[in-house]
């Protein structure tokens, strides 16, 4: 069934490597009466890098469903659609057991997967379940009696991701109530003095640490506020987004047209992550979103500075404190590929696409599995635990997300037959990864 890639030998293209990743993920499938899920780590003696979340976008079935939808589009192999359908069927049947509402770890991510599966597969029942999740999110957001809010955490890991998901649902499902709830919740976040500064409970961080990064920091919150400005035109959102962006610029290290961002301040000004979750690849998304909704060339310049900081760091050949033995979307090479493919599509600068190819060659070369089992990536997901090496199947932590990044690079090279790729709500780049002129 995997005609794109030979049974033996190193994959010679991003598409072939993605097919090999799909082969390994398939080996982790487990079916029951509700549908299909995938083990986080199918190695006989292996353990997952993260807490088990069999439904989530971060490390569970929701992200793997998205990967198989994209793999089917890239290869023309309809068998991958069956994988996605069975995974979505189980999500639709079991989502009511989950309490977490967030984008990456909870029901908002499940909603995104069901919307995409319903649209691609022509399954109205999946979209109906997605709408039911959106209704549940809105209902629970009004339970506190103080406007619309859920957790009080404005970061992407908290309410920020939920709001972005509701905006996507409003556009996809055509229900303005979802946008109205998202905007109301966003107005409360916009009133925070400097959006994104309420982060004292991040794992492994001091209680007084301030994180300028994306998933749990200022950049992700500023991205959200910029998105809300683009949706509503309300100046309060733009002012708040600018406040967050100004803080990020203030704490960044700028030199020779390049920029890097500290992981947290004031304790770790010299620790510069490169990846999506807490580093340059995520922060660049915030500046590009500001450029997208305002047209300000200064914001695009900052996105370019951050990209240049990644290139001049020596990655992928040089492993630094902020770019260690990690390949995944969250904090590794796959997240960098997403940035540079996006920057190519946004600007047409060929150097971005060329560098994405360098990153892809590196990540393909680091894969394990030139055999019947397929590709998996052994990595030290947690920087502070370098001896804890695992290989996972999920989207943000494992093979599904690495495969998706490779598929996005493949799509960017198909100028004669462009195709839509599936981007998560916090990705601001064009869903057809080609420059406008192309």
Average pLDDT over residues 185-203: 72
Whether 42 shows a pLDDT value over 70: the answer reads: yes
pLDDT digits (tens, 9 = 90+) for 202-247: 667 777 788 999 998 999 999 999 999 999 999 999 999 999 999 9
**CA 391 → CA 22, 324, 338, 378, distances in Å?**
14, 15, 20, 4
Six token digits for residue 75: 């290869």
Q: How far is the first Cα of the chain from the last one, in angstroms, to the nearest whole number?
A: 33
User: Is 9 within the bounds of a domain?
Assistant: no
Cα dihedral value 324, 325, 326, 332, nearest 10 = 40
pLDDT digits (tens, 9 = 90+) for 113-147: 999 999 999 999 999 999 999 999 999 998 766 77
Whether 196 shows a pLDDT value over 70: the answer reads: no
d(CA 98, CA 93): 11
Q: Which domain covers residue 119, as residue numbers?
A: 14-413
* Residue 15: partners with Cβ closer than 8 Å, 6 or more residues away: 4, 74, 75, 406, 407, 410
User: Is 433 within the bounds of a domain?
Assistant: no
CATH code of residue 340: 1.50.10.10
d(CA 62, CA 142): 26
pLDDT of residue 182: 97
Which residues face 31 on adjacent strands?
36
User: Is 68 within the bounds of a domain?
Assistant: yes
pLDDT digits (tens, 9 = 90+) for 151-188: 888 999 999 999 999 999 999 999 999 999 999 999 99
pLDDT of residue 347: 97
User: Is 406 within the bounds of a domain?
Assistant: yes
pLDDT of residue 282: 98
pLDDT of residue 2: 45
Query: Strand, coil or helix: what is 139?
Result: helix
- Give the count of domains, the chain: 1
Whether 1 shows a pLDDT value over 70: the answer reads: no
Long-range contacts of 71-75 (CB under 8 A, 24+ apart): 71/18, 71/19, 71/22, 71/403, 71/407, 72/120, 73/120, 73/419, 73/420, 74/15, 74/18, 74/407, 74/410, 74/411, 74/419, 75/3, 75/4, 75/15, 75/19
Contact of 186 with 222, CB cutoff 8 Å: no
Contact of 415 with 438, CB cutoff 8 Å: yes
User: Is 395 within the bounds of a domain?
Assistant: yes
Q: Report the percentage of the chain scoring pLDDT > 90.
A: 82
Query: Strand, coil or helix: what is 84?
Result: helix
pLDDT of residue 203: 65
pLDDT of residue 5: 52
User: Is 427 within the bounds of a domain?
Assistant: no
User: Is 430 within the bounds of a domain?
Assistant: no
Average pLDDT over residues 271-275: 96
pLDDT of residue 56: 97
Burial class (CB in 10 A: 0-12, 13-18, 19+), 158: buried
User: Is 223 within the bounds of a domain?
Assistant: yes
Whether 292 shows a pLDDT value over 50: the answer reads: yes
């Amino acid at each position: 069934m995997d005609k794109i890639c030979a049974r033996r030998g190193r994959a010679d293209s991003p598409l072939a490597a993605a097919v090999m990743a799909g082969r390994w993920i398939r080996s982790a499938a487990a079916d029951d009466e509700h549908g299909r899920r995938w083990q986080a780590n199918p190695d006989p003696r292996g353990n997952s890098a993260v807490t088990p979340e069999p439904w989530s976008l971060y490390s569970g079935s929701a992200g793997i469903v998205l990967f198989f939808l994209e793999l089917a589009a890239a290869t023309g192999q309809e068998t991958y659609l069956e994988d996605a359908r069975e995974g979505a069927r189980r999500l639709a049947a079991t989502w009511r057991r989950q309490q977490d509402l967030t984008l990456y770890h909870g029901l908002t991510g499940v909603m995104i997967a069901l919307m995409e599966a319903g649209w691609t597969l022509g399954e109205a029942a999946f979209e109906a379940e997605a709408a039911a999740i959106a209704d549940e999110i809105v209902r629970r957001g009004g339970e506190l009696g103080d406007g619309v809010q859920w957790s009080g955490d404005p970061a992407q890991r908290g309410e920020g991701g939920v709001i972005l998901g509701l905006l996507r649902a409003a556009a996809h499902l055509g229900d303005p109530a979802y946008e109205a709830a998202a905007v109301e919740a966003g107005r409360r976040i916009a009133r925070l003095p400097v959006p994104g500064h309420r982060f004292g409970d991040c794992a492994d961080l001091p209680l007084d640490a301030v994180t300028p990064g994306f998933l749990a920091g200022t950049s992700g919150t500023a991205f959200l506020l910029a998105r809300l400005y683009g949706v509503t035109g309300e100046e309060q959102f733009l002012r708040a987004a600018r406040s967050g962006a100004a803080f990020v610029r203030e704490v960044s290290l700028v030199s020779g047209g390049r920029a890097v961002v500290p992981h947290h301040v004031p304790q770790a000004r010299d620790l510069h992550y490169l990846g999506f979750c807490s580093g340059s690849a995520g922060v660049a998304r915030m500046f590009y979103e500001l450029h997208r909704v305002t047209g300000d060339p200064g914001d695009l310049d900052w996105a370019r500075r951050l990209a240049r900081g990644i290139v001049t760091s020596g990655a992928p050949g040089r492993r630094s404190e902020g770019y260690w033995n990690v390949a995944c979307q969250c904090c590794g090479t796959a997240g960098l590929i997403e940035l540079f493919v996006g920057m190519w599509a946004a600007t047409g600068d060929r150097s971005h696409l060329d560098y994405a190819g360098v990153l892809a060659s590196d990540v393909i070369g680091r894969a394990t599995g030139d055999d019947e089992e397929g590709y998996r990536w052994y990595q030290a997901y947690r920087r502070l635990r370098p001896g804890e090496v695992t290989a996972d199947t999920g989207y943000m932590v494992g093979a599904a997300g690495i495969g998706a990044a490779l598929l996005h690079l493949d799509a960017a090279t198909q100028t004669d037959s462009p195709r839509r790729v599936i981007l998560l709500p916090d990705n601001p780049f064009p869903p057809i990864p080609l420059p406008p002129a192309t």
